[in-house]
């Protein structure tokens, strides 16, 4: 018997912005790193069909790609801020582990800064 599986993609912070921005956030997001690139590309193709994108969408998304990738590097490095460190110390107590984890994620993202390469 065949079972269809549906997955919800929650664009929680979606606002009035170029559609390229939330799509790139999804493609670069840390929690989507286990989704194979081939599936992400299918998602992007289907999304473009749904919004009846023009040629400028592809240009805009490729133009913003490294900027959004770099934004995620900075999100990971935010853990090094003084206020964030206080919060981690209070909430988890494992400052060293969190810093090592985030530095590793930042390094990985720098090595894979572009989605479209």
5 or 101, greater pLDDT: 101
The residues, ordered by sequence, that sit 6+ positions from 116 with a Cβ below 8 Å of its Cβ are 61, 62, 65
Give residue-wise pLDDT tens across range 50-97. Answer: 887 777 888 999 999 999 999 999 999 998 888 888 877 667 667 888
Model confidence, pTM: 0.76
Answer yes or no: are the C-beta atoms of 61 and 20 closer than 8 Å: yes
List the one residue out of 30, 20, 39, 21 whose CA is nearest residue 107.
30
Tell me how far apart the alpha carbons of residues 73 and 12 are, in angstroms, rounded to a whole number: 20
Tell me how far apart the alpha carbons of residues 44 and 47 are, in angstroms, rounded to a whole number: 5
Answer yes or no: are the C-beta atoms of 32 and 40 closer than 8 Å: yes
Q: Hey, what's the torsion of the CAs at 40, 102, 88, 96, to 10 degrees? A: 150
40 or 8, greater pLDDT: 40
């Amino acid at each position: 018997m065949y079972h269809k599986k549906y997955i919800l993609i929650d664009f929680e912070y979606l606002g009035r912005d170029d559609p390229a921005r939330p799509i790139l956030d999804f493609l670069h997001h840390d929690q989507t790193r286990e989704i194979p690139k081939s599936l992400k590309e299918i998602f992007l193709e289907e999304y473009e069909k749904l919004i009846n994108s023009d040629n400028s969408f592809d240009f805009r998304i490729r133009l913003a790609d490294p900027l959004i990738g770099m934004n995620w590097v900075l999100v990971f490095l935010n853990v090094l801020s003084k206020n964030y460190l206080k919060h981690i110390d209070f909430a988890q107590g494992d400052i060293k582990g969190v810093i090592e984890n985030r530095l590793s994620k930042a390094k990985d993202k720098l090595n894979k800064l572009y989605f479209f390469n």
